[in-house]
Structure 1
Amino acid sequence: MVPNVLITDDDADFRGVLCDALSRRGLHLVQASDGDEALRVIEREPIHMVLVDVHMPKVTGLEVIQVLSERAHRMPYVLMSAMMDEEIEREAARMRAYKILRKPIRLQNLRDIVCGGLAETYGWRPS
């Protein structure tokens, strides 16, 4: 199995940095520029894990994980934000986010979180 990881952020440069950081882990990386695009991607292809920014145009990261939390198939999702506050953290925890990360994100920490979430959920290990 090659896991599909969706990276959703309205900052293209940040998405690129995350893709570079995860590219050597044997993952298939998919990008979305906002929550609306992320939801369309999730509907049309199998996604195993979602990394999503909170503050985006159209559909926010919290709205994305709300949709994911209501699905029968549970996948790990990580909420990220440079402007994280306690209310957002509480809401993300209520929706059972796998992890909640404050930007700037340490890339090694992110790699560990992604691999950990895929291992716990699917038994996947990097090659």
Structure 2
Amino acid sequence: MAGTQREAQSMDLYELYVPKILVIDDDQEMRRLLEDILTREGFHVTQAANGSEALRTIQEASYQVIILDKIMTDLSGIEILPEIKRLRPEAQVILITAFGDRETCVEAMGKGATAYLAKPFGMSVLVQMVKKALEQKIGEA
């Protein structure tokens, strides 16, 4: 019994100190790749396959960083960004897109995105961006 309680306490501490990241992208391969890279960096990663699933997931749990694809099959990242910020104003949102035009960047930042990253991007760039977003979050606390 004591071992079970100790394991439960360890999981509670893990949840407290390991940053939680939500990856929202309708491309399954991209979600898996991002989860693999970010998990190896020590983050706890959850996936959502579309905007609707993302909003349900965000209502159920809090995430320090949300990586959000702009173009998805049901709701675009730009469409759900205001709702994400309403539900989780403390979350740092990184918008990723294959279309890196200036107007989209300005629109995303205006709706609450912390950062904007155009595809294709190096995974090390994304990891650095996530770490910087976490530092900003700590600075706001």
TM-score by length of 2: 0.80
Residues 1:53 and 2:53 aligned together: no
Q: Give the secondary-structure state (helix, strand or coil) at the position aligned to 1:83.
A: coil
**Whole-Å separation in 2 of the counterparts to 1:85 and 1:73:** 25
Over the aligned positions, Cα root-mean-square deviation in angstroms equals: 1.5
Q: What amino acid maps onto 1:22 in structure 2? A: L
Asked if the contact 1:68/1:74 (under 8 Å) is kept, the reply is no
Distance 1:71 1:46, change over 3 A: closer
Structure 1: any 5+ residue segments left out of the alignment? Answer: none
Superposition deviation, residue 35 in structure 1:
1.0
User: Which residue number corresponds to residue 8 of structure 2?
Assistant: none
Count, aligned residues: 123
**Whole-Å separation in 2 of the counterparts to 1:30 and 1:71:** 17
Which one scores higher on RCO, CA 8 angstroms, separation ≥ 6? 1
User: Which residue number corresponds to residue 4 of structure 1?
Assistant: 20
User: Which residue number corresponds to residue 38 of structure 2?
Assistant: 22
User: Which residue number corresponds to residue 132 of structure 2?
Assistant: 116
Q: Give the secondary-structure state (helix, strand or coil) at the position aligned to 1:66.
A: helix
Identity across matched positions, percent = 32
Asked if the contact 2:77/2:95 (under 8 Å) is kept, the reply is yes
Superposition deviation, residue 17 in structure 1:
1.1
User: Which residue number corresponds to residue 97 of structure 2?
Assistant: 81
Structure with the higher helix share, 1 or 2? 2
Instruction: Kindly provide the CA deviation profile for residues 73-116 of structure 1, in whole angstroms up to 9, marking residues without a partner as x.
Output: 32100001112323211211112311101001110010011111
Q: Which has the larger radius of gyration?
A: 2
Asked if the contact 2:21/2:66 (under 8 Å) is kept, the reply is yes
